Each structure stands twice: as structure tokens, then as C-alpha cells.
Amino acid sequence: MVFHGSCLCAAVSYELLSVPKAVSHCHCGQCRKSHGAAFATYGSVPRSDLRILSGAAAIKSYASSETVLRQFCSHCGSTLFWSRSQGEYAQWISVALATLDTPFAPRQQKHVHAASKASWYEIPPSCSSFE
């Protein structure tokens, strides 16, 4: 199955050639600030399974740490992707799942960096969470 996605203004559109894996709701401070929300939800695909269909020039990058690159639309500010430049997962890219236009229902999901969560948000007790 192919999944399609886009940013808020539709300047950037993309497709995923595989099902996103490792779906997680990240509560780290960087994800919260980049999304302006209690957490950011991402799923990962091999880099080779992400195809930018339009708007590649509108994608801007921000190195949020020495090894992490965050990418967003320069027109509307939508967070799109993040990836590691080195290490075990350097060949994967994480996609902001809220930008998907194709329906997607993950089989598993987890909350990560729960110790950094917003003080006003409570992770439901039935959810898996990790520090």
C-alpha cells in the first residue's frame, strides 16, 4: 500500500512506499516545541521508501542536535520529518503521522520520553510508555 501525505498548505506532498513502523508519541521537549502540542506522533520508514512528489524546495531543515535533522515546510511551518545522520537508524526517516492524507491505523503505538511530558497532560494508564 502507498500512503500519501502533505503539509498544511499542500506545497509539499509525499508518498510512503511502506507501512510506517515504530509508531510513537514523543513527549521530549524538542518534539513538544516543534509541534506546539503535548506530544508529536511519528512513524518510521526506510529513507528509500519516502518520495517527495512536490515542493522539495519548500522543505527546510533544522539540526536540533548534532545527529538529528528536523524538516518542515517553509511556507506553512508544518513539521514533516526527522532523521538521524548517524548510528543504527540513519537509514530510516520518521514521518509526522498527522501529515498523512491516506488513512492509517497503526497496530501498535507507544508513548516515549514520558518523563519529559507536559505537566498538564496525563498519559492514559492503559497506554505503553517509556522514559
Q: How many CB atoms lie within 10 A of CB 109?
A: 15
User: What average pLDDT does this structure show over 28-45?
Assistant: 95
pLDDT of residue 126: 78
Residue 36 zone, left/alpha/beta (φ > 0; ψ -120 to 50; rest): left
Cβ atoms within 10 Å of 124's Cβ, excluding its own: 7
CATH 2.60.40.10 is held by the domain 3-130: no
Share of the chain above pLDDT 90, in %: 89
Cell of 70: 528536523
Grid cell for residue 2:
502507498
Tracing cell 520520553 back to the chain, one arrives at 113
Whether the per-residue pLDDT at 48 is higher than 70: the answer is yes
pLDDT for 128 equals: 75
List the domain boundaries for the chain: 3-130
